[in-house]
Amino acid sequence: MEIDIDDLRSQERRKSFHSILISYPSQDGSNQLVKHTCTTEDISESGLKIVARRPLPLGSVIPIEVNTVKPKEHFKFMGEVKWCLEVDDAPTFFAGIKLIKIVENNYKKWLSVANS
């Protein structure tokens, strides 16, 4: 039986397209930090589904910066990569990020963005 990733979500997600910056240690053993810009596909109070051009290392805890347009806000999080799937040959990857650390004074603002 195949399980749809969407079936594993415990919170309501809403389609929301925002620019995000992620960074994580290179997987080539060089200790360099890989940084690139992605977009969100959907968001919730405690997670993001993102669209990336590279695979993300599963289980990695990575810094994430989200810039929203309406309302114009900037959020910083630490998030854990829970899953990553290649969806086409472009290459395009969808990845699920669980937000594990949110700057407290931004949490109420994030809730308003995630629930609007």
Domain annotation covers residue 81: yes
Domain annotation covers residue 10: no
**The predicted structure's pLDDT at residue 4:** 44
Cα–Cα distance between 10 and 59 in angstroms, integer?
A: 19
Domain annotation covers residue 84: yes
Domain annotation covers residue 6: no
The string of DSSP letters for the chain reads ----GGGG--S--EE---EEEEEEE-TTSS-PEEEEEEEEEEE-SSEEEEEESSPPPTT-EEEEEEEETTTTEEEEEEEEEEEEEEEETTTEEEEEEEEEEE-HHHHHHHHHHHT-
37 vs 106, higher pLDDT: 37
- In the predicted structure, residue 41 carries a pLDDT above the cut 80: yes
Domain annotation covers residue 79: yes
Q: How confident is the model over 56-110, as pLDDT tens digits?
A: 889 989 888 888 877 788 888 899 999 999 999 889 999 999 988 877 667 778 8
Domain annotation covers residue 9: no
Split into its structural domains, the chain has a count of 1
Cα–Cα distance between 56 and 36 in angstroms, integer?
A: 11
Domain annotation covers residue 1: no
Average of per-residue pLDDT across 19-48? 83
Domain annotation covers residue 34: yes
Q: Give the CATH number of the domain where residue 52 resides.
A: 2.40.10.220
Q: Which domain holds residue 39?
A: 15-114
Cross-strand bridge partners of residue 73: 68
**The predicted structure's pLDDT at residue 1:** 34
Q: Give the number of C-alpha atoms closer than 13 A to the C-alpha of residue 105, restricted to the C-beta side.
A: 2
